[in-house]
Each structure stands twice: as structure tokens, then as C-alpha cells.
Structure 1
Amino acid sequence: MRRFLTGCLAASALAVAFPASASECGYTSAGWNAPNGAVVFSRSDDGPIRDVIDAIGEFRTHSMLSHGPSGGVTHATMRDPDENDWPTVCGTPLKANQLQYGYPGLEQINQGGIYHYLYEDNGQGPDWTAWQLGDPAGAASIADNLWFNHAYVTDISRVDSSQIIDRPLWNGERVPYSLYQYKDLETSHHIPGSAANNGMVCSTFLAYAHHYAGRGFVSEYTYPHEVIANASNAVHWGVHGQCKESLGWFKNAALTVICPVFWNVCTNAGNQVANCMSANRCDTSSSVIWKRVRDDPNTTATSISPDRIGGWSVHPVSTTLWASDYSHQLQWNSGGNVYGCWQ
């Protein structure tokens, strides 16, 4: 039997702002009101993820599997990749391996951990949160199969060594957060399945979990070329703009001095993230790669978004067992305190 846990970014200097919170560990009320097996959705200013979701005309930016008010949470997320050292930072601002194999990836954390993933120390959190359950028995079977039957390894938190975080395995390996899943989820929603980087994102993991528990195959959705072209532009310019705003004195006092004048570090950061999402090329800031995808009229994207998991936007309510439900307000409302970390 699985043990119970006891009680998706840290910012880099470039501050690209992937899904995250400023505080990785802390306390919260003992539990949220999302039942075992419910999917918890949120909409946050999640940097390039929010840029993609807005560009395709959808709403939810993150999705998580609840193991009940007093239980854990399974989700896939990543912290901000670190910037490279000089002089590499000038041409390739972000560490490619961290961008391609997002940490922590697929993980199981407790209520303290998920609260501090969603809410920063200053009290700012998601713009919106809710949960959906649908078929209670079927949803509970998904959560229980992931919690009790699925292979996993145990990690020590990078922030607090007293805390342990479980990481479900896929194909015998840990599951990083893979930005390429937004372009092509490949067969991550199949049993068995595979994907570039052995990676998933929050919603493709939930499609996998739905199928793994025997609750049915979750079909993918193909986005037309004009939509992904818009998304490519949004990712590039979104990262560029966030980088410009976040560097502040660092940009003016450091990078403009140590980098040649022809290097635009924030443009390169935008190119690097766009390349990673569109072509799984996370090691280069050449604009040719993502623009080739953007400008090819035959190029589409095939994935499963949080909105599709929940049966919203253009997605039917028959897609998953959760999708037949409406959105319930998420609250932390049980007694006591739980301490935990999300990375």
C-alpha cells in the first residue's frame, strides 16, 4: 500500500515565468474541498503557457488530480530554467537541458505543497480556480490507481531536505515536463505510450491517467495552422516582453556590458523557448527553427489541453468522465495545518 504524504516556478534572473510560485514550501489548512479523483483547474499568468492558451482561444492554464481533501495531489509542472553563464548567456540565454527536461515534472505532493505552488508569499495567486468530478466512482478509481498501483520513486525536496516528494514513473523513467507536448503529444495518452523526452504536461498526464485506470481513451485535438502560427508569435513575443520587464538593472548594468551590442538577449530567450515548444530544439536561439514551423501552411498541432480535459471551449463533454460536471469553487476549508513543498 502507498504511504500517505506527510506534512507548475522559481524565478531566474531572466524571469521567463513558467508555472510556479515564489515560495516552494509552507503551511496551509489541512485540505482543499476537491474530492478524491476530481480534477482541479486554474488560470494563472503562467508565462509562455498562458500565451499559448490565450492564443488558441482557451481558458485553463493548469490541471491537477486531487487525491481528496486530506490527500495528495498529482500533477506535472516545471520551475523556471536557469540562465547560462557568460558568455553563453548572450546567445543561448537559458540552460537547454532544464528547458527541455522540465523539473520537477510529474510529481505527487501534499496540500501544503500545492497551496504554495499556486499562491505566492504576497498572497497573489491564480486568476481563477475550480474543480470538476463528474462520475465520482470512476474519478476515484483514477486517483486510486495512480496512488496505489502506479510505479514511482521517492525524491528529497530540493528546497527542504526534510520533505519527500514522490515521482510516478513512465516507461521505467521519471517524467519531465516537456514543452514539446503543446505541439505534439505523440502517444502519451496511449497505454503503452511514448513521447519525446519521456515527457508530459499537466493535461496530457491526465489523459494518460484516465486511460491507465481503464476509464477510456481520451482523444487528442488538432489545432489548425493559423492557430498555431498565432501561438508561435505569442510565445516568442511573450517571453521577450517578460524578459525585458524582469531584467531591470541587471539588463542595463550587466548584460549590455558583457554581451556584444548585436546580441539581443531577450529576443534570443524568446527564440529559444519558441524553438523548444515548436520543434523540441531547446538548445538554440536561431529564429529560423520556430519560424519555419510558423510559416509552413501544412503545419498543425495535436495535443490535449486543460480545457479538453474539462470539456470546455470547443471540446465535448464526452471527452473525459470529468467533463460532464460543472465548475465547483475551490477552497481550503478543513481544520489544522499541513506543511509541504512542491519542488
Structure 2
Amino acid sequence: MRRLLAGSVAVAVLALAGTAQASGECGSVSAGWNAPNGAVVFDRGPGPIRDVLDAVGEYRTHSMLSHGPGAGVTHATMKNPDQASWPGVCTKPIVTSQLQYGYPGLEQINQGGIYMYMYGGGGGPEWTGWQQGDAVHAAIIGDSVWYNHAYVSDLSKFDKGQVIDRPLRNGYRVNYSLFQYRDLESAHAIPGNAANNGLVCSTFMAYAHNYAGRGEVTAHTYSHDLMANASNSLYTGIYNQCKASLGWFQNALLTVACPFYNVCGNAGNQVANCMSANRCDSSDGRIWKSVRDDPNATATSISPDRIGGWGTHPIDNTIWGPDYSHQLQWNSGGNVYGCWQ
């Protein structure tokens, strides 16, 4: 759930983080984080995913599986999709394939890579923390995903000397799929399946919990009213980002290129269609609005707050839930270079 989730970070947090050298995607960090093996690391940052989760009364926007202090990290994430080329950008502003099959999706990276992912864009999350719960069971989850899971290796798109491992599901690389927020299908089950062979950060954590034999994490169904509120917030958030040329729309100047089109409205429709109906190829606002306005329509998924047992979610749904949030610090030794895409 990221790049779009980068925000400002407090000076106190930077002081704990050591020093970094970065272009945003690749760089080095002089210290690793303190999250134990198998712990779930959470953060909160701005962006479209936060708009959705805020609309349903939840706080955490991203979750990651730590493989130990200074060690690797497994998580599902998505880079900013590219803008479509002109003149198609006027009607469908975002490259459809990148919106539907988010890259890099499920990946395993080192401390340099995860630091660049969180802070390399010039900011960082406004809050971070980790939960471990039962240390033995947590370590089983961490080790199962790190040592036992099938994967392939890709070269970084920004440094061909760096390798990024991509865990497989059903024999294929796992994409980041926005539709998971509307319906996770059986993404949390074993063997399980979902549209676009996709996961998001928290449905991956549920899958990892089950894959390691720690039990199935139950999903939560959001009421029609909450689902409708989230849909409106997603559309509005994308529209406002586009108008301000922020996030996915950095340096867009789309209204200049397409003076006779509501480009930002089309962008909002395209993303809302993708999340609500997996129709990432259309900017017809009637698609997501028909879901929003159907009184029987709900959403069923697993959020970062549910993984951590926060708010209305039960604490006994995961092994991490009974724990409280520990402060994430970057204080382990080493100087590690890496990339997150």
C-alpha cells in the first residue's frame, strides 16, 4: 500500500533511523529495524488507501512481515501507476494494466530496500509500530514464508545489480490488487485464490498466518453504509490528488493537455471502478456508483487493523493481536544497500 502513502516524518523518528542515501527506490541505510522475526510492522501514511480506511474508521494503512532485526521483509505493495499516453490519458488517465495488476506486488527485500520504501521519497509515515504476540508462533510464520515458500527472483528496475525475490502463488507472481479491499475472495485461505492473482498488504499477512499453520484469519464484512462512504472517499481523494498534481499525478498538468475533458473526474472514476468492481479499464462513473447505491452491496476483507486486533476487530483472530504496539526503531547494526522495486 505505498509510494502513494509517503508523508512527513518527525525529526525524532529520523534520529532513530540512522542515515540513508537514496533516490527513492534504491539506497543504503546505516541501521536496521528492531522488529523481531515474525512480527507484523504497521505504519500510517497519507494517500488513497488511507482515504478508504479512514472512511471506515480504521487507522493503520500498511502491514509488513519482519524476518528479524536488520533482516529481510516480506510485504505486498504497489508503485504509483503510470499515466496513460496522450490522447488516451484524457478519458482513461491511468495505465489500466498497472492499476489492475499492481507492481511489484508481493516481494521480499532487505533493510536498505524497506527503508527506501518507507522514507526514500523524501518523507515517511506519520506513525509506525510492530506487534509480535507469541514469539514462537511469530517466528514460525516468519521462517515459513522466508525459507519454505516458492519464489522467483527479479532484477530491480532501478539497479540491475540488485535482486528482488517474488513469492509465488498458484505458480505465478502475486500482484497487488485493489479489488481485495472490496472482496478478498479466498486470498486468506490455503491454497486460496483471488482476482488478478492478487493480494494487498493485510490479506498477505492473513495468508502468511494460515500458510504457517497458525490458523485462518477470519475476514470482516463492512456494512453497505461504510462501503459507500469508502467509495466516495476514494473517488474524492483521487480527484483531489489529480487536481493538485500529487501522488499518482505528479507533474501531470492533465487539465492543460485535455482542456475539454474532466480528466481528474475520469481518474477518480477509474480507480473507484477498479476497487469496487475490478473494472480498472473504465472511467465510467456509473460502474462504481451502481455498487455504492445498491443497498445490498457490502465489502468483505481483512485490513491492517484487523491483523493487529485493533478497534472493533477481535484480538484473538491472529497470533499478533494480543500484543500492544511497540515503537519501531532503526538501531540494529550494519550498512545495507537495497531496492524495493
TM-score, structure 1 as length reference: 0.91
Deviation at 1:71, TM superposition (A): 1.3
TM-score, structure 2 as length reference: 0.92
Q: Partner amino acid for 1:94?
A: I
**Is the 8 Å Cα contact of residues 157 and 165 (structure 1) preserved in structure 2?**
yes
Counterpart position of 2:89: 89
| Distance (Å, rounded) in 2 between the aligned partners of 1:198 and 1:241 | 30
The list of structure 1 runs, each at least 4 consecutive aligned residues, that deviate by more than 4 angstroms after superposition, is 18-22, 247-251
- Provide closer, same or farther for how the CA distance between residues 246 and 319 of structure 1 changes in structure 2, counting only shifts above 3 A: same
Deviation at 1:255, TM superposition (A): 3.7
1:266 aligned to 264, 267, 279, which one?
264
Counterpart position of 2:296: 298
Counterpart position of 1:13: none
Q: Partner amino acid for 2:285?
A: S
**Is the 8 Å Cα contact of residues 118 and 126 (structure 1) preserved in structure 2?**
yes
Matches of residues 154-169 of structure 1 in structure 2 within 5 Å?
Answer: 154-169=153-168
Spell out, residue by residue over 1:263-320, the C-alpha distance to the aligned partner (whole angstroms, 9 max, x if none): 1111100000000000000001000000000000100000000000000011011010
- Provide closer, same or farther for how the CA distance between residues 249 and 239 of structure 1 changes in structure 2, counting only shifts above 3 A: closer
Q: Partner amino acid for 1:332?
A: W
| Distance (Å, rounded) in 2 between the aligned partners of 1:331 and 1:9 | 20
Counterpart position of 2:279: 281
**Is the 8 Å Cα contact of residues 23 and 120 (structure 2) preserved in structure 1?**
yes
Q: Partner amino acid for 1:182?
A: Y
- Provide closer, same or farther for how the CA distance between residues 250 and 339 of structure 1 changes in structure 2, counting only shifts above 3 A: closer
| Distance (Å, rounded) in 2 between the aligned partners of 1:203 and 1:317 | 15
| Distance (Å, rounded) in 1 between the aligned partners of 2:2 and 2:136 | 33
What percentage of aligned pairs have identical amino acids?
A: 67
Counterpart position of 1:132: 131
RMSD over aligned CA atoms reads 1.7
- SS of 2:39 mapped into structure 1: strand
Matches of residues 146-225 of structure 1 in structure 2 within 5 Å?
Answer: 146-225=145-224
- Provide closer, same or farther for how the CA distance between residues 19 and 191 of structure 1 changes in structure 2, counting only shifts above 3 A: farther
Counterpart position of 1:28: 29
Spell out, residue by residue over 1:13-42, the C-alpha distance to the aligned partner (whole angstroms, 9 max, x if none): xxxx36699701111134210000000000
| Distance (Å, rounded) in 1 between the aligned partners of 2:172 and 2:269 | 29
Q: Does 1:233 align with 2:262?
A: no
Q: Does 1:43 align with 2:47?
A: no
| Distance (Å, rounded) in 1 between the aligned partners of 2:241 and 2:38 | 35
**Is the 8 Å Cα contact of residues 60 and 306 (structure 1) preserved in structure 2?**
yes
Counterpart position of 2:242: 243
- Provide closer, same or farther for how the CA distance between residues 312 and 255 of structure 1 changes in structure 2, counting only shifts above 3 A: closer
**Is the 8 Å Cα contact of residues 18 and 80 (structure 1) preserved in structure 2?**
no
Deviation at 1:121, TM superposition (A): 4.9
Q: Partner amino acid for 1:79?
A: K
Spell out, residue by residue over 1:140-166, the C-alpha distance to the aligned partner (whole angstroms, 9 max, x if none): 000100011100000000011111000
Q: How many residues in Structure 1 have an aligned counterpart in Structure 2?
A: 325
- Provide closer, same or farther for how the CA distance between residues 323 and 164 of structure 1 changes in structure 2, counting only shifts above 3 A: same
| Distance (Å, rounded) in 2 between the aligned partners of 1:166 and 1:298 | 41
Q: Partner amino acid for 1:240?
A: Y
- SS of 1:154 mapped into structure 2: strand
Q: Partner amino acid for 1:282?
A: C
**Is the 8 Å Cα contact of residues 9 and 22 (structure 1) preserved in structure 2?**
no
Q: Partner amino acid for 1:214?
A: G
| Distance (Å, rounded) in 2 between the aligned partners of 1:9 and 1:41 | 12
Counterpart position of 2:119: 119
Spell out, residue by residue over 1:181-202, the C-alpha distance to the aligned partner (whole angstroms, 9 max, x if none): 0000000011110000000000
| Distance (Å, rounded) in 2 between the aligned partners of 1:58 and 1:40 | 16
Deviation at 1:246, TM superposition (A): 1.3
Counterpart position of 2:12: none
Q: Which runs of 5+ in 2 are unaligned?
A: 8-21
Counterpart position of 1:335: 333
Deviation at 1:336, TM superposition (A): 2.5
Counterpart position of 2:13: none
Q: Partner amino acid for 2:230?
A: A
Q: Partner amino acid for 2:111?
A: Q
- Provide closer, same or farther for how the CA distance between residues 211 and 121 of structure 1 changes in structure 2, counting only shifts above 3 A: closer
Q: Partner amino acid for 1:333?
A: N
Deviation at 1:206, TM superposition (A): 0.5
**Is the 8 Å Cα contact of residues 255 and 263 (structure 2) preserved in structure 1?**
no
| Distance (Å, rounded) in 2 between the aligned partners of 1:125 and 1:9 | 10
Counterpart position of 1:78: 78
**Is the 8 Å Cα contact of residues 28 and 112 (structure 1) preserved in structure 2?**
yes
- Provide closer, same or farther for how the CA distance between residues 244 and 135 of structure 1 changes in structure 2, counting only shifts above 3 A: same
Q: Partner amino acid for 2:29?
A: T
Q: Partner amino acid for 1:43?
A: R
Counterpart position of 1:313: 311
| Distance (Å, rounded) in 2 between the aligned partners of 1:335 and 1:185 | 38
